[in-house]
Structure 1
């Protein structure tokens, strides 16, 4: 039995978003296991007259027994007639997966917060977006609005990559992530690498008989930590995180294999950093590129505070095909609270988000009023060219 997500008819708008966010948080949708969330959203949208497509996405690695997941694409009846080969003019997007572990919602009215996995990343955002979109429906202004909610943003972005096969060509893409209700001017790029070191195993009492795979890998990692990486005034410094280390099979044996997984947050194209990595590591380890994308310049609207994002989003993986398309990134909540054991969203900010999502969507549906801080062609070019084929690196 799938969870029922619904706001009560008697609820005020401010209360409705609280109840909807709470319901969404209480649906477990860890990356790779988003099935219940997709079906619950489908039910909520169909009940309100949306046409809904569940787009299959192949099973996530390690979740093969669960089978396919689904992206949720929704639009108002008649949109396909008005823009038959392009889909809706405005596409509202976020992701339906969360990082582990799952824990349910707690509405703390005394402190004005909702806690729980996904509270800000991104179940609260979904609630605000859904209610804002529905307000436009009720005022008769949502005919050219589409909703796209995808799986696996937190892992491999396979949901957004798969969504490209829907052949949507929006003029405006509005993505929800926790940005403290600021419009993001630009987001850092990403370079994820695996370093693989090879040795010869032997008894640790006689190290001359073998070769440790761990020793040269550790030395290479130390050199990478000491290396100088690019920085600029807009996005700050390139950062390196050594996230995973594996190697060896016993404390009293030299390791035959060792590996490390690294993530760089980029302010330059990934090729520049990769060149330095390969030169620094030398022959001490093989360098394998897992994924890479460039920094992305985004559009902003007048009237909203702006910032930059040091985190990666699905924007880098969506193909904005219209030559003058614009992409926007904004949502309630703080990325500093995401992925933590205290994840939360402030209730007043969540309630305000319904109104500003409605206002932004209306401006985009009518065409942005006032100038943007990034010209459309520049933003579209940056987004469209942002995903790097790892095989070419």
Structure 2
């Protein structure tokens, strides 16, 4: 087995699922890999067993940054997996396992390209930023943004799966809860209570058309919104005094996160003011849209670099999924971003049973990453 494949397999074999909260094991493996190549790195703790990692070489401006997340989503029903999700099984030119596509293949490719650049004597300024918790909350990216790691970068490459396309932007991701408070009573005497489900239902009905007048973004497309979680009641003969829902929205540059918040709060306030009981809004996560012009230096040079390795330029596209870039863009510093990785999101491999990555594609992207950095500084 070649070194690059063995490295990816080692990362996939570490359970860093959302429930495991165990990114430190991956961070230590990568730190040793970098150290063996003569590159210093630092771990930035978020919580027990959860470490971000940052490494860099070179000085001056501009600064090119790679970023990727060390966590993966939960496995789901283990009985449905053909191979154990943390075995890193190899067959038919593919490596199977949770995170193989999203995004340990991108993570490994970034690390190996970073090492190759350093060992070649490349003397420009390159940074590697690896995070915890991207799959639920992006706490690592938020922590590193607050610590200033995006305050001086000029170009950011996110190694998420993109199915052989360059993504120059993506929608935001916005999670919220609405909580309804009523008064408990026996179901035979409902007038003595206040059913918390009623106001929550009023909100669900209002939410269906709450964003009908929002403009369609010329690049990202329409704002997408859904109520996705509903919790209410625990006994059939009791009027529930509490109910809650959760929803997800994909903001666009044409209707940004703050406007979404204002629209939701206004709807909740109007329903809260009508009749008994109360309704409260709670913001859970707010990730911003990311958009880089298609004629920007990073997009143009990246496509030129990929053509130099693979012989053809790639299609440019956007995604409705969010990345850690949503948090890094909260920095006052403005920089260009692309999302490009070896995983295949077109086949819905991310977050799916029997997730895999093509090993040929993975090896090619390592070379493309190195070429992208070199072309960027040309």
- Smaller-chain TM-score range? 0.7 to 0.9
Deviation, structure 1 residue 142: 5.5
SS of the aligned residue for 1:316 comes to: helix
The verdict on how the C-alpha distance between 1:254 and 1:118 changes in structure 2, with shifts beyond 3 A counting, is same
Distance 1:166 1:271, change over 3 A: closer
Runs (5+) with no aligned partner, structure 1: 1-7, 60-66, 368-393
When structure 1 is superposed on structure 2, of 305-314 and 330-339 the one drifting more is: 330-339
Superposed CA deviations along residues 2-54 of structure 1, whole A, max 9, x for unmatched, are xxxxxx6xx3xxxx333222111001112432121111111111111110111
Structural mapping, 1:130-279, within 5 Å: 130-141=111-122, 144-168=125-149, 169-227=152-210, 228=212, 230=214, 231-267=216-252, 268-279=255-266
Let me know the Cα RMSD of the aligned residues.
Answer: 2.4
Spell out the pairing of 1:1-393 with structure 2 (5 A cutoff).
11=2, 16-31=3-18, 32-57=21-46, 59=47, 67=48, 69-76=50-57, 79=58, 82-83=59-60, 89-101=63-75, 103-110=85-92, 112-141=93-122, 144-168=125-149, 169-227=152-210, 228=212, 230=214, 231-267=216-252, 268-281=255-268, 282-284=270-272, 285-298=279-292, 300-301=299-300, 302=303, 303-318=313-328, 325-335=335-345, 336-364=348-376, 366-367=377-378
| 2:208 partner SS | helix
Relative to structure 1, the CA distance from residue 321 to residue 253 in structure 2 (aligned partners, 3 Å threshold; closer, same or farther) is closer
Cα pair distance change 1:317/1:43, threshold 3 Å? same
SS for the counterpart of 1:361 is helix
User: How far off is 1:320 after superposition?
Assistant: 7.6
Distance in 2 (alpha carbons) for counterparts of 1:354 and 1:152: 24
Contact 2:13 2:88 in 1 (8 A): no
- Paired residues of 1:229 and 1:238 also in contact (CA < 8 A): no
Q: Cα 1:144–1:104, aligned 2, differ >3 Å: closer, same or farther?
A: same
* More contact order relative to length (CA 8 Å, sep ≥ 6): 2
Check whether the contact 2:72–2:135 (CA below 8 A) recurs between aligned residues: yes
**What CA distance in whole angstroms lies between the structure 2 residues aligned with 1:324 and 1:251?**
54
Q: How many Å apart are 1:271 and its aligned residue?
A: 3.0
CA contact (8 A) 1:229 1:273 kept: no
* Equivalent position of 1:376 in the other structure: none
Task: Tell me, in whole angstroms, the C-alpha distance in 1 between the residues paired with 2:182 and 2:148.
Answer: 48
- Aligned-partner Cα distance in 1 for 2:219–2:63: 30
What secondary structure does 1:99 align onto?
Answer: coil
User: Match of 1:159, SS?
Assistant: helix
Listed one character per residue, the Cα deviations across residues 120-170 of structure 1 (whole Å, up to 9, x for unaligned) are 111111121222222222321155222111111111211112213543322
Native 8 Å contact 2:64 2:127 kept in 1: yes
Change (3 A) 1:216 1:272: same
Q: 1:337 to 1:229 in 2, by over 3 A?
A: farther
What is the CA-CA distance between 1:113 and the residue it aligns to? 2.3
Relative to structure 2, which stretch is displaced further, 249-258 or 138-147? 138-147
1:321 deviation in Å?
6.0
Q: Distance in 1 between matches of 2:332 and 2:118?
A: 25
| Contact 2:203–2:271 (Cα < 8 Å) also in 1 | no
Q: Secondary structure at the match of 2:55?
A: strand
* Aligned 8 A contact 1:171 1:322 in 2: no
How does the TM-score come out when normalised to structure 1?
Answer: 0.79
**TM-score normalised by structure 2 residue count:** 0.82
Instruction: In structure 2, list runs of 5 or more residues that go unmatched.
Output: 77-84, 273-278, 304-312
